[in-house]
């Protein structure tokens, strides 16, 4: 009797298992395949994903590039690839749009330095930016393009109010001067000033720019964009901003860019702004170049202070100008002559090497260097890290 009881219990258990297994038969291979895929997938991807996410969270770049856009883009790409490896859903266009968005966040309202909200194309380029409208998130002022460049001066859009700069700035707003600038005017600097010429000057400044390669650069007081075009063609920078106060220089700059075929129109923008009121967020830019311009600015200290504000820690300032010392400092009555010329022209005329060094350090820049050739001088300084 007892035997029969155990026999039936065992029999029913087997029948129950048989029915259960049969009912799941079709889904078991699918589950097994899925589990195998997940396990295999995880085995294959996990080390890579782990390695990638571990790099992106623990990789500490050298301080010189730690804050550069190059590093930020690099880190962002690594993060993006680790996400792609795990989920495989982030389309490339999203990554590009995020990069474009990040670049646009460097632009700021020249009145309150707050973020500008952008309604234009997602792409940052010579053609799209002049068609965009930007609105300050704080004061709500709208800034627009005029077909060749974005006007980010404080007085942009004013209907009645007009403002004149000192003669040293105004002269470059004349269309004739803009036309002549690269057609003889600039070449004159080599003859009587000892300027080596654009290609050599770019070669010289490359050493200073090494730590920020891959980052953003502003060609401040770019005139017709001689250096902006060299920077864009070099492929060394993620963003090139050609900036000047003169509308006619920017128009000439736009025309030259349009005429050149081997120049990428992306990640290159033309901006009208005053050097003493730069429309960029603080600590957002990797490098500022100001070629043959310091002596034209109404207040070099206001300009260099602004450059210092927008440079990120470790960011580089490199400039060329005419220097006034050596034999020139022995000219009798030099100081009063300089003062009078300065008052008439509205600029500081030429500075001495000691004045240039002092100017950089009073504006918070360090590691000043200086290379000279006759009256030409190339200086560089860095924002402390
Ligand atoms: C001699 S050009 C220098 C051009 C060029 N960077 C080069 O290396 O040949 C001086 C430029 O400074 C610009 N400039 C003068 N005052 C300015 C200001 N307040 N803000 C921005 N740019 C200014 C002028 O419009 C002019 O294009």
Q: CA 346, CA 339: separation in Å to the nearest integer?
A: 10
116 confidence band (pLDDT: 50, 70, 90): very high
Cα 193 to middle of ligand 1, angstroms: 17
Say if ligand 1 is within 6 A of residue 293 CB. Answer: yes
Dump pLDDT digits (tens) for 253-269.
999 999 998 898 999 99
Give the number of other Cβ atoms within 10 Å of residue 94's Cβ: 11
Report, as an integer, the average pLDDT of 62-88.
Answer: 37
State yes or no: pLDDT of 25 exceeds 80.
no
Distances (CA, A) of 367 to 210, 212, 283, 317, 364: 15, 15, 18, 10, 10
**64/328: higher pLDDT:** 328
Query: Mean pLDDT, to the nearest integer, of 304-333?
Result: 86
- pLDDT value of residue 295: 92
100 versus 132: which is more confidently predicted?
Answer: 132
Contact 175, 160 (CB under 8 A): no
- Do 273 and 149 touch, CB atoms closer than 8 A? no
Report d(CA 298, CA 289) in Å as an integer: 18
Any ligand 1 atom below 6 A from CB of 292: yes
Which region, left, alpha or beta, applies to residue 158 given φ > 0 means left and ψ of -120 to 50 means alpha? beta
Question: Average of pLDDT values for 49-58?
Answer: 33
State the Cα–Cα distance between residues 256 and 279, nearest whole angstrom. Answer: 24
Average confidence (pLDDT) over 37-60: 33
pTM summary value? 0.75
With cut-offs at 50, 70 and 90, classify the pLDDT of residue 242. Answer: very high
Whether the pLDDT of residue 81 is over 90: the answer is: no
Phi-psi category of 53—alpha, beta or left, where left has phi over 0 and alpha has psi -120 to 50?
A: alpha
CB 379 within 8 A of CB 312: no
Is the Cβ atom of 223 under 6 angstroms away from ligand 1?
yes
Q: What is the mean pLDDT of the chain?
A: 78
Query: Based on the number of CB atoms within 10 Å of its own CB, is 36 exposed (0-12), middle (13-18) or buried (19 or more)?
Result: exposed
Q: What is the pLDDT of residue 327?
A: 61
What ligand 1 atom has the least distance to the C-alpha of 222?
6
Report the percentage of the chain scoring pLDDT > 90: 55
Distance 294 CA to ligand 1 centre (A): 8
For residues 242 and 271, the answer to whether their CB atoms sit within 8 Å is: yes
Q: Is 248 in the pocket of ligand 1 (CB under 6 A)?
A: no
CA of 300 to the centre of ligand 1 (A): 12
At residue 351, the pLDDT reads 85
Per-residue pLDDT for 13 more than 60? no
Q: Ligand 1 pocket check: which of 176, 276, 293 to mutate, most ligand atoms within 8 Å of Cβ?
A: 293
Hey, what long-range contacts does 134-143 have (CB within 8 A, 24 or more apart)? Answer: 134/107, 136/109, 136/111, 136/112, 137/109, 138/109, 138/112, 138/114, 139/109, 139/111, 139/112, 139/114, 141/109, 141/111, 143/109, 143/116
Is any ligand 1 atom within 6 A of the Cβ of residue 65?
no
Which of 223, 253, 347 to mutate to test ligand 1, by most ligand atoms within 8 A of the CB atom? 223
Give tens-digit pLDDT for 60-74.
Answer: 333 333 344 433 443
For the Cβ of 318 lying below 6 angstroms from any atom of ligand 1, the answer is no
Looking only at Cα atoms, what is the longest distance across the chain?
134
Query: What's the burial of 327, exposed, middle or buried (CB within 10 Å: 0-12/13-18/19+)?
Result: exposed
Length of the chain: 385
Ligand 1 binding pocket includes 291 (Cβ within 6 Å): yes
Which value, in Å, is the radius of gyration of the alpha carbons in the chain? 30
Ligand 1 near 189 CB (within 6 A): no
CA–centroid distance, residue 203 to ligand 1 (Å): 21
Q: Are 202 and 379 in contact (CB under 8 A)?
A: no
Nearest-CA residue for ligand 1 atom 8 is: 291
C-alpha of residue 223 to centroid of ligand 1, in Å: 5
Look at residue 27 and tell me whether its pLDDT is greater than 50.
no
Residue 325 Cβ contacting ligand 1 at under 6 Å: no
Confidence at residue 210, expressed as pLDDT on a 0 to 100 scale = 96
Mean pLDDT of 147-163: 92
Closest-lying ligand 1 atom to the alpha carbon of residue 186: 9
């Amino acid at each position: 009797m007892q035997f029969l009881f155990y026999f039936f219990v065992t029999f029913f258990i087997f029948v129950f298992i048989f029915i259960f297994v049969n009912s799941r038969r079709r889904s078991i291979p699918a589950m097994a395949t899925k589990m195998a895929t997940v396990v295999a997938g995880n085995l294959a991807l996990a080390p890579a994903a782990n390695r990638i996410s571990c790099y992106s969270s623990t990789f500490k770049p050298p301080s010189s590039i730690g804050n550069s856009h190059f590093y930020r883009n690099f880190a962002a790409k690594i993060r993006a690839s680790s996400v792609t490896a795990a989920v495989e859903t982030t389309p490339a266009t999203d990554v590009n749009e995020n990069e474009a968005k990040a670049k646009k966040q460097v632009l700021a309202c020249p009145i309150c330095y707050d973020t500008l909200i952008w309604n234009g194309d997602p792409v940052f380029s010579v053609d799209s930016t002049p068609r965009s409208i930007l609105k300050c998130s704080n004061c709500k002022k709208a800034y627009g393009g005029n077909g060749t460049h974005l006007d980010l001066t404080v007085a942009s859009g004013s209907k009645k109010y007009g403002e004149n700069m000192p003669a040293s700035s105004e002269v470059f707003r004349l269309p004739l001067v803009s036309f002549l600038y690269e057609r003889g005017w600039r070449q004159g600097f080599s003859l009587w000033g000892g300027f080596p010429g654009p290609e050599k000057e770019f070669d010289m400044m490359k050493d200073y720019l090494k730590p920020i390669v891959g980052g953003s650069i502003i060609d401040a007081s770019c005139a017709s964009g001689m250096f902006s075009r060299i920077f864009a063609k070099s492929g060394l920078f993620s963003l090139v901003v050609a900036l000047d106060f003169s509308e006619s220089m920017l128009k000439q700059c736009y025309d030259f860019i349009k005429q050149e075929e081997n120049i990428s129109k992306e990640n290159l923008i033309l901006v009208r702004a005053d050097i003493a009121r730069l429309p960029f967020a603080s600590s957002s830019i990797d490098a500022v170049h100001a070629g043959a311009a310091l002596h034209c600015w109404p207040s070099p200290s206001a300009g260099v202070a602004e450059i210092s504000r927008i440079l990120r820690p470790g960011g580089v300032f490199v400039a060329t100008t005419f220097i006034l010392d050596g034999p020139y400092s022995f000219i009798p009555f030099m100081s009063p002559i300089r003062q009078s010329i300065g008052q008439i022209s509205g600029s500081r005329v030429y500075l001495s090497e000691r004045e240039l060094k002092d100017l950089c350090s009073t504006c918070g820049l360090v590691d000043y260097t200086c290379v000279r050739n006759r009256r030409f001088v190339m200086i560089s300084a860095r924002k402390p890290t």
